[in-house]
């Protein structure tokens, strides 16, 4: 009788702890969503002074990117990610072993490491979106007749930024940039909490080195561009009005995209777990890898 009561008490404590953890996560996501709305208010009240824009952003754009983040992480991060990983493994002639993590992180440091990407993801999506906007702005040329109308519509940096019409018309283009920039973070997100991935026979080190160098060069160029925009807006204060409006809005959209992605992460993890249990992949499989040193092998 005493043993049964002890087991019931232990299960109750686990259930209560899980409920408190879920409530805390929901509260954090709500605060993030409200932070996005606050950024919309700041963007509009410091530029156009028109509350109708805030309504459009809060009731249309915000929920749209939230659903976009949810759908992307479930479909790409969950349902399609293992198929893409299998394809990449075939191309690089490598294998990947995925180990299921059953234990919850106990220390504060491990808990922070398990959730740190949630803090990095809004900034990553935001910076990638700004870099894409800048690239489209530089690519727009009348000589590219086939793509010129599309590039002109997407180029939010070349529109007349003094009218309310601009503020509303720029929102769909911003959402498109958020959608493109959020694909890779949404692909990565489901694997950071419950899965440990070990690569076997990865790509050749000289190819990896080349990719790292090329990536660094591109990243430096994007970083310098973003620093130039920030300097023009924040310090010189001579930047056009669309920057004072667009940058906070893009940051707000990035935050709310992350909220949607976090809401769909558990569903994506279920998709991945189910696919791994079916053992339908040849190069991306569920298992464990044990690495032994020479002394352990008796050498």
Residues 67-96: b if buried by 16+ CB within 10 A, e if exposed: ebbbebbbbbbbeebbeebbeebeebebbb
User: How far apart, in Å, are the Cα atoms of 162 and each of 154, 165, 241, 242?
Assistant: 17, 9, 7, 8
Q: What is the pLDDT of residue 243?
A: 72
Choose from 63-72, 167-176, 226-235, 289-298 the range with maximum mean pLDDT.
Answer: 63-72
Q: What is the pLDDT of residue 213?
A: 63
CA-nearest of 42, 73, 37 to 57 is: 37
Q: Pull the structure tokens for residue 66.
A: 């939230």
CA-nearest of 106, 87, 61, 117 to 265 is: 117
* Backbone phi and psi for residue 293, each to the nearest 5 degrees, phi listed first: -80, 170
Mean pLDDT (whole number) for 121-148: 76
Residue 198 pLDDT more than 70?
yes
Q: What is the pLDDT of residue 106?
A: 62
Q: Pull the structure tokens for residue 61.
A: 């754009």
The number of angstroms, rounded, from the C-alpha of 183 to the middle of its chain's C-alpha atoms is 7
Residues 6+ apart with CB under 8 A from 152: 140, 158
Residue 3 pLDDT more than 50?
no
- Collapsing DSSP to helix, strand or coil, 141 comes out as coil
Mean pLDDT (whole number) for 126-139: 80
Mean pLDDT (whole number) for 153-169: 72
Residue 178 pLDDT more than 90?
yes
Residue 299 pLDDT more than 50?
no
Compare 181 and 153 and report the one with higher pLDDT.
181
Q: What is the pLDDT of residue 244?
A: 77
Q: Do β-strands 284-286 and 95-100 pair in parallel, antiparallel, or remain unpaired?
A: parallel
Please indicate, yes or no, whether the overall pTM of this predicted structure exceeds 0.75. Answer: yes
Q: 52-105 pLDDT, tens per residue? A: 888 888 888 999 999 999 999 999 988 888 888 888 778 777 787 888 877 666
**Neighbouring C-beta atoms of residue 4, cutoff 10 Å:** 8
Q: Percentage of the chain with pLDDT > 70?
A: 66
The dihedral built from the CA positions of residue 180, 184, 187 and 193, taken in this order, carries a sign that is negative
């Amino acid at each position: 009788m005493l043993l049964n009561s002890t087991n019931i008490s232990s299960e109750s404590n686990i259930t209560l702890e899980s409920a408190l953890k879920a409530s805390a996560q929901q509260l954090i996501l709500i605060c993030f969503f409200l932070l996005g709305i606050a950024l919309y208010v700041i963007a509009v009240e410091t530029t156009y002074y028109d509350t109708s824009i805030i309504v459009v952003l809060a009731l249309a754009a915000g929920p749209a990117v939230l659903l976009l983040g949810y759908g992307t992480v479930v479909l790409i991060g969950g349902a399609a990610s293992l198929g893409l990983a299998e394809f990449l493994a075939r191309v690089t002639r490598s294998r990947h072993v995925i180990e299921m993590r059953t234990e919850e992180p106990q220390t504060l440091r491990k808990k922070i490491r398990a959730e740190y990407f949630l803090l990095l993801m809004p900034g990553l999506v935001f910076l990638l979106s700004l870099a894409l906007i800048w690239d489209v702005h530089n690519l727009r040329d009348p000589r590219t007749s086939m793509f010129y109308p599309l590039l002109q519509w997407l180029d939010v940096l070349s529109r007349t930024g003094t009218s309310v019409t601009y503020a509303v018309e720029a929102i769909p283009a911003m959402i498109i940039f958020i959608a493109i920039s959020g694909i890779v973070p949404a692909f990565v997100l489901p694997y950071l909490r419950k899965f440990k991935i070990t690569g076997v026979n990865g790509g050749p080190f000289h190819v990896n080195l080349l990719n790292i160098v090329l990536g660094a060069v591109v990243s430096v160029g994007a970083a310098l561009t973003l620093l130039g925009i920030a300097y023009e807006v924040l310090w010189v204060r001579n930047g056009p009005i669309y920057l004072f409006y667009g940058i906070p809005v893009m940051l707000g959209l990035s935050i709310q995209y992350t909220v949607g992605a976090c809401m769909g992460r558990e569903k994506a993890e279920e998709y991945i777990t189910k696919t791994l249990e079916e053992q339908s992949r040849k190069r991306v499989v569920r298992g464990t890898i044990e690495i032994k040193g020479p002394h352990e092998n008796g050498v």
